Amino acid sequence: MTREVPVVIDGDACPRGGRETVPVRSPSTGEQLATMVRGTPEDVDRAVRAAGHAAAVLVSMTPRARAGLVRRVGELIAERAGTIAHDLAGEQGKPLREAEGEVATAVIMWHEAAEIVRHSTDEILPSDDAARRVVVVRRPHGVLAVITPWNFPATIPTEYLSAGLAAGNAIVWKPSELTPLTAVHLMDCIRDAGFPPGSVNLVPGLGHDTGAALVSHPRISAIGFTGSPRTGDAIARAAGAKPMLLELGGNNATVVLDDVDVAAAADRLSSAAFANAGQICSSTERIVIHRRIHDQLADALTERAKALRLGLSLDPSTTIGPLNNEPTVTKVNGHIEDAVAKGARVTTGGKRAGGWPTPLYYEPTVMTGLTPEMLAFTEETFGPVAALMTFESDDEAVGLVNGHGLGLIAGILGEDVTRALAIGRRIDAGVVNIGDVATAWQPHTPFGGYSGRASGVGRLGGRYTVEALSQLQTFVLPADAMP
């Protein structure tokens, strides 16, 4: 019997009724895993109203009480980790080992959100008036709209849900239609942890109707979204002046200085470029290499790409799985074809892999000769492609890293930390890893796009997410009302 992903409002799964449905298929096998019910604008309205009632309950709870519920969600995810990881790998396509790691990280994030709110404090500021006192408190926004993508269906939603609930918000959540089974698992854990009904309402659907109805709803107080810059721009226009936390991706570069251990750098870059088949917003896509070591590093990275084991997501021997969907494969192909037409050379890969159950398998690809005129330089590729280019001076390296409109994360591999840091200070990225690849990120640290770039607004990560999903309220009161 095919499983069903329902609309969940006020704690209850809604009968399918006459709603349209969407099949949920494994990118690995092509098997239909479930049927997803498409939420309607009417469902969005009911969900927002249910969240409004729940928000009044959540804000009245003590931080300790909310923290206890948030922590319990993490405990339940840990107890069910095997089942969740199995479904996550099946619907997303990543190797089971990576899915297990993602679920384990989600557990940590729920626990950290609980600790953050448990130890949150208000502020007493100096007053210019001796007869008055100034107190600043942190309050929830109210009802959050959360829209999340398919590449990390456990951790990316967790960033918003754990922090949003910890801060006292209620949430209406539209997960990706490509990975909704993981969303059902998270919803079950939130319900079983004891959150009030309506604390998180699930409205599956497509972006152009369900998502649009959600972000434009007048009773939505703030918005959290991870996805493409184009969709982020549309959300910003629809939302107007509402607070927004937008993580919009990047075409991230790692600079490789000429003093590195080439073998160690190749190991690190292989993981940075090919983890999750390159479908990571922080993935290293452009590798900017000092000309003196370029050929040696290109050969080493090509060897490592060839050694990856492409395969079924649930096969324990698989080290890289298929891409998640056909539009992603089409874009990856287009970027490679464009680069080759403009002079780049593919040293391995560069095409779909035949002989698999679906056409979504793509050979891990290394190409040299990337230039700023190529789409792989200016746009996010979001696939298993390591695109190499050279530099001679540090000034040239900085110009190449900054030479497009995105600015999410960057890395600099080199033994000379002083030199690497001097380069890093000139890079327009929200995160710069010194002595490491662009892809590396610690989930409690602030993560987001650099100002003036198209990689987003605000910061995700630990207390920074809690702060983004809440607001400050200032009380000025008579001095005799306080000790």
Active site members: 247
State how beta strands 385-391 and 170-174 pair.
Answer: unpaired
d(CA 173, CA 165): 12
Q: What is the dihedral of CA 3, 8, 13, 17, to 10 degrees?
A: -80
Angle at 326 between CA 325 and CA 331, to 5 degrees: 110
Q: Which residues contact 170 (CB under 8 A, 6 or more apart)?
A: 50, 51, 52, 54, 55, 58, 142, 143, 144, 198, 199, 200, 201
Using alpha carbons, select from 247, 308, 309 the residue that is nearest to residue 282: 247
- Residue 25 is encoded by which pair of tokens? 């298929």
Give 461-467 contacts, CB < 8 A, sequence gap 24+: 461/159, 462/112, 462/116, 463/116, 465/113, 465/159, 465/160, 465/163, 465/245, 466/113, 466/116, 466/117, 466/120, 466/163, 466/166, 466/167, 467/138
Sequence letter at residue 477: L
- Residue 144 is encoded by which pair of tokens? 């959050």
Asked whether the beta carbons of 290 and 257 are under 8 A apart, the reply is yes
First to last CA, the chain: 65
Evaluated on CA atoms 204, 99, 375, 237, the torsion sign reads positive
Q: What is the dihedral of CA 141, 142, 145, 148, to 10 degrees?
A: 70
Burial class, 372, CB count within 10 angstroms (exposed 0-12 / middle 13-18 / buried 19+) = exposed
